[in-house]
């Protein structure tokens, strides 16, 4: 058996999230179906770095799976992409050590959140960015607030109340707000993220930019460890899993 | 009654084309439904510059309609966009002369055709550009061939055999092929286009770029007035109606 690591891109619009569920079309379902066809009906279960929600996109999701086949690495992309629907693409496949684990070995992740600042949202962006409309936020204030998230904090105030994990301490390594023409991007890198954590931070930063909260209020809201103190969770269609980090 | 002219953008992916049909979701159906709501169930029928096929997009479709309402022009966009699904957007509305006609007054149209030249197509572009894949075409040859289309010709070889119009003489004013990073764009402006004409020209230029036809073969194919002499029609998802031209 060989263990393969693959980088996966997907448009999350028409998926009920990443992970296989009882009902609905999921990314993992499509990938495992393609793997099963390649393995002539032997069931191969892929393992991802983590799940993503309905509507969330990926530019660099990472999975691993084991295979007895001796297909050369460069043929794997073509074989899988031929069998996958075109809203999921395998970008690269490489053999890794037999103990590599897409989830447990991840040392961090980078996410991108996209807003569109135009009077009327382009119909071509509706599933790929969140429209801010006429009320452009104050980007300087968003950047001031962003600084308070960087570092190691308990993120109870910035994750879903449905979060099962009890240890909510995470480290944000980088958090930047950048303008690209009509788009406003939040890029966040951390050692790990709780359920809805990136979207809650995005929602909070936008609320600060719109003057609903003071940039320095982040300090108190983190300390409160109470989800109700923070702003609304931002919608899923603006969120992209950009990269999963591993030690070399 | 006032006559209003509106510019409309739409993502054609989930529409069965522009024009109202017995079955299927169409752009006109959505627009006329929004107009009916604004007019408290009075039926208002909009008239477009022309129809577009299933999957074809618009950046600047033009429509006109008559209204007894005295809503200011700038409120019309908001009123209509509030009622429209987010894959159709009204970009602007202005009052025009009562004899303005979106279709009959059009003096020309500009279309864009987009190809993506990447080893693996981005899942985010699958509905918005046609993937060329590993076989990159020779852009210089495409440009040589493009020159032969410019001017006034009988386009019988470059329209659907289902074309009802008997006068197939049209004038192409401009035809350019440009590279933008991984994208290859064909922009074409003419006084009018026959059914499938832009997509057949796009398909022909790509076939020339791939060496399946000589650039100068366009001369003979135009002269043959026979659809079978030309290459395959290019797929609909690469096509955008960019602008409808009117005399000032």
What residue segments make up the domains of chain B, in order of their start?
2-96, 108-246
Fold of domain A2-96: Alpha-Beta Plaits (3.30.70)
pLDDT over threshold 90, residue A9: yes
Q: What is the pLDDT of residues A152-162, one digit of tens each?
A: 999 999 999 99
- What pLDDT does A23 receive? 86
Q: What is the pLDDT of residues B161-170, one digit of tens each?
A: 998 889 999 9
Calculate the alpha carbon distances from B50 to A41, B64, B238 in Å: 50, 11, 18
- What pLDDT does B37 receive? 96
Q: How far apart (Å, rounded) are the C-alpha atoms in residues A203 and B148? A: 54
Q: How far apart (Å, rounded) are the C-alpha atoms in residues A235 and A199? A: 7
Residues of chain B with Cβ-Cβ distance to A133 below 8 Å are none
From B53, B154, B182, B191, the catalytic residue: B53
Q: Confirm or reject CATH 3.20.20.140 for domain A107-246, answering yes or no.
A: no
- What pLDDT does A173 receive? 98
Q: Quick check: ipTM above 0.85?
A: yes
CA dihedral A141, A128, A55, A149 (to 10 degrees): -20
Listed residue (A18, A25, A28) closest to A51, CA to CA? A18
Query: Which of A86, A91, A122 is closest, CB to CB, to B9?
Result: A122
* Residues forming beta bridges with residue B179, ordered by sequence position: B184
Q: What is the pLDDT of residues B20-51, one digit of tens each?
A: 988 899 999 999 999 999 999 888 999 999 99
Residues annotated within a binding site of B for substrate: 111
Q: How far apart (Å, rounded) are the C-alpha atoms in residues B95 and B92? A: 10
In the numeric block, which tokens belong to residue B15? 């529409």
- Region A169-197: mean pLDDT is 97
Confidence band of A185 (pLDDT split at 50, 70, 90): very high
Q: Are strands A239-246 and A57-67 parallel, antiparallel or unpaired?
A: parallel
Q: What is the pLDDT of residues A92-143, one digit of tens each?
A: 999 999 999 999 999 999 999 999 999 999 999 999 999 998 778 999 999 9
pLDDT over threshold 90, residue A164: no
Look at A121 and B11 and tell me if their CB atoms are within 8 Å: no
Helix, strand counts (H, E) of chain B:
5, 10
Q: What is the pLDDT of residues A21-77, one digit of tens each?
A: 888 999 999 999 999 999 998 889 999 999 999 999 999 999 999 999 999 988 999
Name the percent of chain A lying above pLDDT 90: 92
- Give B226→chain A minimum CA distance, Å: 35
Query: Which of B87, B88, B121 is closest, CB to CB, to A89?
Result: B121
Architecture of domain B108-246: 2-Layer Sandwich (3.30)
Q: Please, what's the b/e burial string for B21-57 (b: 16 or more CB within 10 A of its CB; e: otherwise)?
A: eeeeebbbbbbbebbeebeeeeebebbbbbbbbebbb
pLDDT over threshold 80, residue A248: no
- What pLDDT does B133 receive? 81
- Give A184→chain B minimum CA distance, Å: 18
Q: How far apart (Å, rounded) are the C-alpha atoms in residues A109 and A90? A: 19
Residues of chain A with Cβ-Cβ distance to B57 below 8 Å are 124
User: Do the beta carbons of residue B128 and residue B114 sit within 8 Å?
Assistant: yes
Look at B123 and A89 and tell me if their CB atoms are within 8 Å: yes
Using a 10 angstrom Cβ sphere, with 0-12 exposed, 13-18 middle and 19 or more buried, the burial of residue A247 is exposed
Do the domains A107-246 and A2-96 match in fold? yes
What's the farthest any 2 CA atoms get from each other in chain A?
A: 58
Number of CB atoms found within 10 A of residue A90's CB = 21
* Residues forming beta bridges with residue A7, ordered by sequence position: A62, A92
B99 is catalytic: no
Residues of chain B with Cβ-Cβ distance to A88 below 8 Å are 123
Q: How far apart (Å, rounded) are the C-alpha atoms in residues A236 and A55? A: 5
């Amino acid at each position: 058996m060989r263990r393969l690591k693959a980088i996966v891109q997907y448009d999350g619009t028409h998926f009920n999230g990443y992970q296989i569920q009882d009902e609905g079309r999921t990314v993992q379902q499509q990938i495992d179906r393609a793997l099963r066809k390649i393995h002539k009906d032997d069931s191969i279960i892929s393992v991802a770095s983590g799940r993503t929600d309905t509507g969330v996109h990926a530019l660099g999701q990472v999975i691993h799976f084991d295979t007895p086949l001796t297909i050369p690495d460069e043929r794997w992309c073509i074989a899988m992409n031929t069998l996958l629907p075109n809203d999921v693409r395998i970008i690269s496949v490489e053999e890794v050590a037999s103990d590599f684990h897409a989830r447990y070995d991840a040392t961090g992740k980078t996410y991108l959140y996209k807003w569109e600042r135009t009077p009327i949202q382009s119909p071509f962006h509706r599933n790929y960015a969140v429209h801010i409309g006429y009320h452009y936020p104050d980007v300087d204030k968003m950047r001031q607030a962003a600084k308070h998230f960087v570092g190691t904090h308990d993120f109870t105030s910035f994750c879903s109340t449905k979060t099962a994990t009890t240890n909510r301490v995470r480290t944000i390594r980088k958090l930047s707000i950048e303008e690209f023409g009509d788009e406003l991007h939040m890029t966040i890198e951390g050692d790990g993220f709780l359920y809805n954590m990136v979207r809650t931070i995005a929602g909070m930063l936008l609320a600060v930019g719109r003057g609903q909260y003071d940039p320095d209020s982040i300090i108190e809201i983190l300390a409160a460890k109470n989800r109700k103190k923070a702003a609304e969770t931002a919608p899923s269609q603006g969120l992209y899993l950009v990269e999963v980090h591993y030690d070399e």
